[in-house]
Structure 1
Amino acid sequence: MFKIGDFSRLGQVSVRMLRHYDDLGLLKPSHVDQWTDYRYYTIEQLPRLNRILALKDLGLSLEKIAELLQHDLPLEPLQDLLRSKQTELHQQMQEAQARLDRLSARLYQLELEGQTSVYDVIVKSVPACHIASARHIVPVASDMPKCRGILIEQLYRWLSQHKITPVGCEIVLYHISEYAEADIDMEFAIAIPEPTKPIADTGQTSIIVRQLAAAQVASVFHDGMVRDVTQAIAALFSWIGTNGYISSGAIREIHLFGPETKRVKDQTVVLELQIPIVARQRASFDPLQPVDKMR
């Protein structure tokens, strides 16, 4: 028999780990001296130790290994467990590759722009919600404040008439694929409870109730003047192109500062900008690919 230290050197496992295996019931000493509590192992226990190490190397937890060894390593449960671990590792590899792509894209963007962006973009999932909205084509950018005011008034009057209390922030949707100075398709909306019955028409046919679809979005927060929002949108489009995505829906401007009717002119605000995205079909980030930039 071998003392624990000798068995440790033979099996290339630390004494501390052998004691841990003993506590878990994975590998009990062949003999424990009742007077000194010294642990002794036999040469025949080395195959079991190697089996533990082999399963551990595959990424299985010690608890799972103990469960398998307790039932003499049955074939089907072992196969199921290894397939599950294989799927888990593939997922981890994909996540790690995506993170590596984002790091590469961020470095490339820094080199391209020569400075640190004030906007940090993240990808997140947003759930679907019901909205009431009013939509209008804004002739030119300078008409935006006037058109927004008209849509806001129509929307809140409609909500009041139908006794509907909003359940979320105001949302401005820009149905455009790139920056535009004219013919801007804008929709002013607000989240409402899901209707339990059809809402009677009061003659204001410009107000519609619909579901805003769930989406994976690129998101950024803007803290500043409303007139500078275009800078945040430009940063979003630049990030989307650099990171291997394409836009797949209307730009969403989420008013975190409260109702626009209470906003003071030239007051700084905090709002969130979201653009729904889907992955471009390419394996990984390629710095030689052209960068989609909003001009």
Structure 2
Amino acid sequence: MLSIGDFAGLGWVSVRMLRHYDTIGLLRPAHVDPHSGYRWYTADQLSVLNRILALKDLGFTLHQVQAMIEEKLELGELRGMLRLRRAELAAQVDRDTARLALVDARLRLIETEGHMDTGDVILKKIPAIRVAELSATAAGYDHPTSITENLSPLYPRLMELMEQAGVPMTGSPIAYYRPAPTGPGDETITVHAAFPIGAAEVPGAGFDVVELPPIEAATALHQGPMSEAFRTGQKIATWIEENGYRPSGPGFAREVYLDCPPDEFDKWVTEMQVPLDGTGIATGKN
């Protein structure tokens, strides 16, 4: 048998923790000396300790861990629970990493306040564009991950439908946004994923065909992930104000994805187009 000190060392835990686990009935020693009260453990109990630590490190409370241990979960059940919890934690890490990147981007933006260079903002007259599109509803700009989660899946689905219908795309992917409130205080938006299609004939193909009207827009190239597009958006806003213009409608930018290497978001190149007063974003469908 192993002394409590040896068992703690082999299990990479403290003696104090083992005493606590004994007190709450989570992991009792195999033998307690009736005279000295000294605790002894068996090597087999290390597997139980490993399960406890794995469940605890994955965020379960000691009460939850105890219930799982007492239920004598089968190895397959435990493995499935751990994989599910691991996936949840990995998703949380991804969200926190994205949030940290967003905070860093906003800090960099704050550092440029008062001396923002707007020299690369260009005033353009953009002709009407006929596009195939799919749309979805997102929670709004207060929830940027909702926009990505709802917009991104539309493009591969739209490409699939266009291929099935024999409709070729004739230009870069486009995204645009419209308010979609369903009640007072609702700030949901409709996200539109679109591909230019020229004058191609389109049978009933499961997607909409929309005429994006001609616009006069303040435009600038955004380089990097779209989660940091607010940097370029603020630059355009500064230019608009400095030059006496006003945005049209809610001021949502139309986005034209010029270069989008898969999984290399820091290398993306996107033209952001903010329609100016007197122009619109989209008209009816046909």
TM-score, scaled relative to structure 1: 0.48
TM-score, scaled relative to structure 2: 0.49
Which structure has the larger Rg over C-alpha atoms? 1
